[in-house]
């Protein structure tokens, strides 16, 4: 347990700097938006809330992605070069991502609850859910979707890096093209999903399966990682 705590502490050392930078940029953005909404008469406080939530979504996504990229480029090779036990490293990388995503999801959930109370703020309809209703079940479902999407994004970015490192960057480009092609092929279904929540339970199941599959693949790839530097 002590060694696992040490590894968690080590992993946090690597992301401290990017976390501070992203937080500063986000706060700067929020400050600018606040000033704009105060100084420009035609803009309401509701505008600021919309900007705040959009920025929060964007920057937490950037934070999760940058954590994944940092772990792939720096953390995994360095810790493999220090002979950290592979199974521990693989578990820590996955758990580290889950912890970060869970924290972000809880944070979003709390923001949603607070906005529910702010009656003057109207919320959009996404995935066929009217977010203004303030239904707890819908909020929990939304939190689950945010959790799965961010976890999948984190796992996918690490998967790309590990595959590229092991098999060559041609395979990496191949996977990216396949992923983009799949999205393009399913664009109609995705639009229907976002607008009307069409077959959302199927998509939810798909997210869970993809996330579980990528986690297992990442575990194996880290266990067999070769330090070629």
Residues that bind other proteins (CB under 8 A): 3, 6-7, 9-10, 13-14, 70, 73-75, 77-88, 223-224, 226-229
User: Are the beta carbons of 6 and 89 closer than 8 angstroms?
Assistant: no
Q: How far is the CB of 214 from other proteins (least distance, A)?
A: 21
Q: How far is the CB of 50 from other proteins (least distance, A)?
A: 35
Q: How far is the CB of 63 from other proteins (least distance, A)?
A: 16
Q: Which is nearer to other proteins, 82 or 178 (CB)?
A: 82
Report the sign of the C-alpha dihedral through residues 46, 50, 51, 52, in that order.
positive
Q: Given the structure tokens 């194996």, which residue do they identify?
A: 220
Q: Which is nearer to other proteins, 46 or 224 (CB)?
A: 224
Residue 123 and residue 115: Cα distance in Å, rounded?
Answer: 9
Q: Which residues of 52-91 are buried (b: 16+ CB within 10 A; e: fewer)?
A: bbebbeebbbebbebbbbbbbeebbbebbeeebebeebbe
Q: Which is nearer to other proteins, 77 or 97 (CB)?
A: 77
User: Are the beta carbons of 224 and 167 closer than 8 angstroms?
Assistant: no
Q: Which is nearer to other proteins, 5 or 117 (CB)?
A: 5
Q: How far is the CB of 195 from other proteins (least distance, A)?
A: 41
Q: How far is the CB of 98 from other proteins (least distance, A)?
A: 21
Q: Which is nearer to other proteins, 42 or 83 (CB)?
A: 83
Report the sign of the C-alpha dihedral through residues 136, 139, 145, 150, in that order.
negative
Q: Which is nearer to other proteins, 87 or 182 (CB)?
A: 87
**Gyration radius from the chain CA atoms:** 20
**In sequence order, which residues have a C-beta less than 8 Å from that of residue 199 and are 6 or more positions away?**
189, 192, 193
Q: How far is the CB of 162 from other proteins (least distance, A)?
A: 14
DSSP 3-state of 41 = coil
Residue 39 CB neighbour total at 10 angstroms: 8
């Amino acid at each position: 347990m002590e060694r696992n705590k040490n590894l968690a502490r080590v992993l946090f050392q690597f992301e401290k700097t990017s976390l501070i930078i992203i937080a500063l940029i986000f706060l700067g953005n929020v400050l600018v938006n606040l000033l704009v909404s105060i100084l420009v008469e035609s803009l309401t406080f509701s505008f600021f809330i919309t900007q705040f939530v959009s920025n929060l979504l964007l920057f937490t996504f950037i934070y999760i992605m940058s954590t994944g990229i940092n772990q792939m480029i720096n953390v995994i090779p360095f810790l493999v070069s220090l002979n950290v036990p592979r199974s521990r490293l693989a578990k820590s990388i996955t758990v580290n991502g889950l912890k970060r995503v869970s924290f972000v999801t809880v944070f979003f959930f709390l923001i949603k609850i607070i906005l529910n109370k702010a009656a003057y703020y109207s919320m959009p309809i996404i995935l066929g859910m009217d977010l203004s209703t303030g239904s707890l079940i819908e909020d929990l479902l939304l939190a689950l979707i945010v959790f799965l999407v961010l976890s999948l994004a984190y796992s996918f970015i690490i998967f790309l890096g590990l595959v590229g490192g092991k098999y060559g960057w041609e395979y990496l480009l191949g996977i990216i093209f396949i992923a983009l092609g799949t999205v393009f092929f399913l664009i109609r279904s995705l639009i229907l999903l976002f607008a009307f929540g069409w077959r959302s339970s199927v998509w939810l199941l798909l997210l869970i399966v993809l996330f579980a599959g990528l986690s297992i693949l990442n575990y194996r790839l880290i266990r067999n990682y070769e330090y070629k530097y």
